[in-house]
Structure 1
Amino acid sequence: MSQSEERTYGNWRQPSSPGFGNLGLGGSGILLFGVLAIVVLMYLSMTFAIAGAVCLAGVLVPMVIRDRHGRNGLQWATARVAFANGKSKGQHLYRSGPLGRVPLGTCKLPGLAAASTLHEAQDAWGRPFAMLTIPRTNHHTVVLNCNADGASLVDDDQIDTWVAYWGNWLAQLAHEPRLVAATVSVEATPDSGERLRREVFENMDGEAPDLSKQVLEEVVTTYPVGSARLSTRIALTYSGAGGPTVTGGRKSVEEMALDLGTRLPGLAAGLQMTGAGPARPLTGEEMAEAIRVAYDPSVAALVDQARATGGTQLTWDDAGPIASEESWDHYRHDGAFSITWSMSEAPRGEVHSNILARLVSPHPDIVRKRVTLLYRPHDSATAAGLVERDRKDALFKAQQKKVVQARDNAAITASEQSAREEAAGAGLVRFGLLATATVLDKADLHVASAAMDNLAASSRLRLRRVYGSQASAFAAALPLGLVLPNHLKVPQQVRESM
């Protein structure tokens, strides 16, 4: 019997900015302008020229020094100043409920999702679904709940088929009108055992022998101990721009609900062959329950019990925490503590399909773990320009050095291959990763941090703790459809040029 070669994946590239040395496009522009200014000052006064050179060096030196995650000193300094400024204004604290500062005594979400609203509608198949709206960015998000198939005892050919269909599904997102981003959130949580208890007791025969009843009761009591549950949710975020009937070209909530309701069945059906299992849209109550439990894990068992007796009746105004406090390196929300990391470098070289298996699996040192993949597909017109610019940037950086390094050759090869694949019809998608570890005691944060470091190393990822932005990163890792680049004060193009 012939054995097929195991398939590997890779060839992703991090967007780079052309410039001199470690300086990006913005830093190189400042350098050229500063040199010209110094030359002009030399004709006026040598003292002014020296002072200008010192000022120029003070600006450029922090931009040249970079850490292992690629962040320069200027980015570190601005993050420190921004966090200190927000803390002095009390923006790191949040209080809601009857004694809080939120109007009407509700428990709305904090931070970027504070102004979000939830609207319920029905899709083309008559299924109810929830649509989350962020007014500031005019984004509308629908969430699909998936029952992902495991890879245990599955042939390699089937896994390769799943990966191929998943890549095709991502590529098709580039042709979705007004689609902005997609997120895939895999959450590992402890199982409360309520589902097993309800299933056993509802099907237990009242006339069964006492021994059988005792065995079932012991099973219900002991089996859920130490067990975990994996939840997979896919959030699709659309822009509300382009409505002809509304002033300013913005589609109304009703128009967006009608539009997305016709697309959901097709999007859910496309996930069938990706290994995601049957996908269905989340209702408003299910959305509120998922976010409520994420901010306060202690209510997870109560939510499961309420579902068994007819539902929790939670609304979106009650989905947020009662209190939260953001620190420089962690986030406290109700009775839990969380740390969020972002991916600063994807695995190098070729990887296998199970590269993230350990990262998304439950861990005994982490109460709740959430790994979220962030995707931003580019349309075909934008993708062509991006891959060509990336290829030119790689060539420009390699030509600056007298001796070309192996990484430069690999970057040129990868950029050229990306350009060829895009020209052949492949899609171009920007992706990132956020990982959140939640514990119930602050003393366990260092244990969870060490566990995440080990899991990241096994997945060949380089993770960076999101210092100074833990609250925003925590919210972005939830299935809320938040597109972080659209919430930045500094435009994304400026940040990338640094």
Structure 2
Amino acid sequence: MSTTSAESVRIEPQVFGNLTVPRRSGLGGLSMGVSLALVPVVLLGILFLATGRWVLAFGIVALAAVAVLLLKVTTRQGRSIYGRITLRLAQRVKEKSGRDVYLAGPTGKGTPDGATRLPGLMAKSELAEFTDSYGNPFGLIRVAGAGVYNYSVVIEAHPDGDSLVDREQVDHRVAVWGAWLTQRGLDEGIRGASVTVESAPDSGLRLTGLLEANRVEESPDYARGVTERIGQTYQGGAPQLVARVAVTFDGRRRDGKAGDRGLAEMAEEIGTRLPGLVGGLQGTGAGSVKACTAAQIIDFTRVAYDPTVASIVEEMQASGGTGLGWEDAGPSFAQDSFEHYRHDRAVSKSWTMYQGPAGNFTANSLKRVLEPSPGLLRKRVTLLYRPIPAERTTALVQQEQNDAAFAGSQTRRNARAALRQAAAAKTAAEEAQGAGLTRFGLIVTITGTSEDELKPWDKRIPGLVAPARLRVRPALANQAVTFQAGLPLGLVLPDHMLIPDTLREFF
């Protein structure tokens, strides 16, 4: 008789990495923008030396050296001393001009019709409802700006989570999600996508409604007592957790002329493509997936700006709907402070990613920050994606290889430069095999009742994202626009910036 022993095999989790930031390298480890800015200084120094004005020449060179030194040694959280001073000045100008305060409603300013529209970049947005090719309704958000005509749809999902899920299944879900993002770069007219995971305390209305709907008058006293005890004990049970995916389409005319293609044409095109977008999320672990209607978009936007009405909105939804319009979804009062954003009866603070993962990470690296946090009215974690069109990926990969080689030639035996060259070569190989390129960012927003309630989170939030090996910082002097970008409304911030990506890469 023979016996066999089974040895447990440990399955190592799949790791991901090789993330790089497109940038243009300059001389001596400086950025290309700083290197170009030093060219006039060098020319002036040579000119003064040639004319015998030695003091001026050395003075200019000394000032330039001090300026560069301050740029290198005063950088904290990705901001130099010049950047921090600029933020302070911008906030002061904003407060003096009164643009830090938003007042709407019957007693507000700038809203003669008494509406409470969304502030900022979403002030002139429009919301309409259409049906897709399968006859399902969906809300369509239109945001127009200077040469920008973006149309966004919102897809609501209820993720299954990773409990009792095999490692192979998790890796499969990650692969399907990566393929979904890659396809967005191949699709025509996709400006961006975002995934927002929002957690909030449970109001208890869902449990109460479920118990009331199944209550029978002839039920035994014991059964009635048990159900009543359940309602009293677990009324504030598990927190609500919902994920929303926003996809933004480019509405500009395709013939190269300036102008908008129009709401009707875009609704027809998006309605045809929407079932494919929703179906592509089925294998990602998103669970139940469905496009949001206009009423649903209005309701969760209203709750985001005033979380204290969440239970009222939920109760009205159960009884037929809130009846709110898009012009009612915004706050009646908002104040954009340097470190906080006050809106109606709540205060929020947002953090943005300024440095991506420096090494490898796993599929559950963001699990800690995505989990519900007790003591907050709301917490939103938003991943922003901007798929790069397929026709541009080859040029960007080649440019990164050239910049990495140039940066490596500036120093001798630099480990970081060698790693950058290796990463650029690996990216080029993967792109040649059909992989896509996607820019991404992260916004974390927490909402409470007061500033004191949010203070302990100044150190907690950076610690929650630490397992993902990325770094976040407060959105100083930009709390209002960051709060809005973290909402699942499809707002693509780079489309509204004065400086395009091609120029920002120099700095």
Residue 75 (structure 2) pairs with residue 67 (structure 1): yes
In structure 1, how many angstroms separate the alpha carbons of the residues matched to 2:238 and 2:39?
60
Residue 40 (structure 2) pairs with residue 33 (structure 1): yes
Determine if contact 2:29/2:407 at 8 Å carries over to the other structure: no
In structure 1, how many angstroms separate the alpha carbons of the residues matched to 2:267 and 2:410?
52
Counterparts of 1:372-411 in structure 2, within 5 Å, are 372-402=382-412, 404-411=413-420
Determine if contact 2:369/2:465 at 8 Å carries over to the other structure: yes
Determine if contact 1:335/1:440 at 8 Å carries over to the other structure: yes
The one-letter amino acid paired with 2:102 is Y
CA-to-partner distance for each residue in 1:161-220, whole Å, 9 max, x for gaps? 101100111100001111010000000111111112112211211211122122212212
Alignment match, 1:76: 84
DSSP-derived class of the 1:103 partner: coil
Q: 1:104 aligns with which of 98, 110, 113?
A: 113
Counterparts of 1:98-247 in structure 2, within 5 Å, are 98-101=106-109, 102-136=111-145, 137-242=148-253
Residue 439 (structure 2) pairs with residue 430 (structure 1): yes
CA-to-partner distance for each residue in 1:398-436, whole Å, 9 max, x for gaps? 22113x232222222111111110011101111110001
DSSP-derived class of the 1:104 partner: coil
CA-to-partner distance for each residue in 1:317-375, whole Å, 9 max, x for gaps? 00001101111111111111111001122233221211111110001243311000000
Determine if contact 1:358/1:459 at 8 Å carries over to the other structure: no
In structure 2, how many angstroms separate the alpha carbons of the residues matched to 1:261 and 1:385?
32
Q: 1:323 aligns with which of 324, 333, 337?
A: 333
In structure 2, how many angstroms separate the alpha carbons of the residues matched to 1:103 and 1:60?
50
Q: TM-score normalised to the size of structure 1?
A: 0.95
Counterparts of 1:238-277 in structure 2, within 5 Å, are 238-242=249-253, 248-277=258-287
- TM-superposed CA distance for 1:129, in Å, is 0.8
Alignment match, 1:442: 451
In structure 2, how many angstroms separate the alpha carbons of the residues matched to 1:274 and 1:85?
46
Determine if contact 1:332/1:338 at 8 Å carries over to the other structure: yes
Alignment match, 1:11: 18
Residue 70 (structure 2) pairs with residue 91 (structure 1): no
DSSP-derived class of the 2:481 partner: helix
CA-to-partner distance for each residue in 1:269-304, whole Å, 9 max, x for gaps? 010011112321111111011111111110000011
- TM-superposed CA distance for 1:65, in Å, is 4.2
- TM-superposed CA distance for 1:397, in Å, is 1.6
Determine if contact 1:171/1:377 at 8 Å carries over to the other structure: yes
Greater CA drift, 56-65 or 22-31: 56-65
In structure 1, how many angstroms separate the alpha carbons of the residues matched to 2:406 and 2:172?
38
- TM-superposed CA distance for 1:440, in Å, is 1.3
Determine if contact 2:204/2:237 at 8 Å carries over to the other structure: no
Residue 35 (structure 2) pairs with residue 21 (structure 1): no
In structure 2, how many angstroms separate the alpha carbons of the residues matched to 1:226 and 1:204?
20
DSSP-derived class of the 1:184 partner: strand
DSSP-derived class of the 2:163 partner: coil
In structure 1, how many angstroms separate the alpha carbons of the residues matched to 2:74 and 2:106?
47
Determine if contact 1:65/1:73 at 8 Å carries over to the other structure: no
In structure 1, how many angstroms separate the alpha carbons of the residues matched to 2:504 and 2:11?
45
DSSP-derived class of the 2:15 partner: coil
- TM-superposed CA distance for 1:61, in Å, is 4.7
The percent of aligned pairs where both chains have the same amino acid is 39
Counterparts of 1:38-49 in structure 2, within 5 Å, are 38-44=45-51, 46=53, 48-49=56-57
Determine if contact 2:355/2:472 at 8 Å carries over to the other structure: yes
Q: 2:367 aligns with which of 333, 353, 357?
A: 357
- The alignment's C-alpha RMSD in Å is 2.0
Alignment match, 1:462: 471
Greater CA drift, 39-48 or 366-375: 39-48
Gaps of 5+ in 1: none
In structure 1, how many angstroms separate the alpha carbons of the residues matched to 2:246 and 2:60?
50
The one-letter amino acid paired with 2:385 is Y
Gaps of 5+ in 2: 1-5
Alignment match, 1:312: 322
Alignment match, 1:281: 291
Q: 2:461 aligns with which of 439, 452, 457?
A: 452
Determine if contact 2:298/2:326 at 8 Å carries over to the other structure: yes
Q: TM-score normalised to the size of structure 2?
A: 0.93
In structure 1, how many angstroms separate the alpha carbons of the residues matched to 2:91 and 2:52?
40
In structure 1, how many angstroms separate the alpha carbons of the residues matched to 2:41 and 2:468?
43
The one-letter amino acid paired with 1:155 is D
Determine if contact 1:243/1:249 at 8 Å carries over to the other structure: no
- TM-superposed CA distance for 1:258, in Å, is 0.8
Residue-pair matches, total: 496
- TM-superposed CA distance for 1:44, in Å, is 4.2
The one-letter amino acid paired with 1:120 is E
Determine if contact 2:377/2:448 at 8 Å carries over to the other structure: yes
In structure 1, how many angstroms separate the alpha carbons of the residues matched to 2:211 and 2:223?
12
Counterparts of 1:474-493 in structure 2, within 5 Å, are 474-493=483-502
